[in-house]
Amino acid sequence: MLLRLFPFSIFFAFFCFIVGYFFQKLGLKQWANYFLNSGLFFLILVYAKAALGFLNLAMQSLYRSARHYISVPAAHARVELSHRHKLHHQAQLHKNHKKQLLYRHSQARNRFIKANNRNQAIQLSKAICSHLHAKRKVLPQTDYQAYRQALQNNHRTQNIDGLLQLQFEIIHR
């Protein structure tokens, strides 16, 4: 309603200004002041109408938004969205926990395998040393020293393949 009269009020305010200007040119100061003041009043009224119209639109928009926010379908949608978010968060936590457990188990398994390999290398070195000691009288001194040096190098580096190759050579010699 207020905005429908907006163009007419602007027209009427400028009309009062023009009439006041003409009365001022004719020398009628009282009528000129009356029409200029009336034009100013109508112009202020136009701006007040515009401000009230915009305030009215803002309040209507806020009212519609608040009404929509507290409506039952919107509340159900927010609850459903909250549940979805919570489920997604729990799934992410589960996935991260699973990854962490897999990493810990793989680290423990790797430590166990490394310790087992070390023990097997020690046992294999002891077995090769006993074979080498048993064949000490049969082997030439240079070969015995070379085998002994190879045994120490392979034992220090825990080279299982090298130890097995050395054991094969010693047994079949």
Say what the pLDDT of residue 17 is: 84
Say what the pLDDT of residue 72 is: 87
50: Cβ–Cβ under 8 A, 6 or more apart, which residues? Answer: 6
| Number of Cα atoms under 13 Å in the Cβ half of residue 104 | 6
Say what the pLDDT of residue 5 is: 63
Range in 21-30, 55-64, 79-88 the model is least confident about: 21-30
Across residues 75-95, what is the average pLDDT? 93
pLDDT tier, 63 (very low <50, low <70, confident <90, very high otherwise): very high
Across residues 45-68, what is the average pLDDT? 90
**17-26 as b/e: b if 16+ CB within 10 A:** bebbeebeee
Say what the pLDDT of residue 84 is: 95
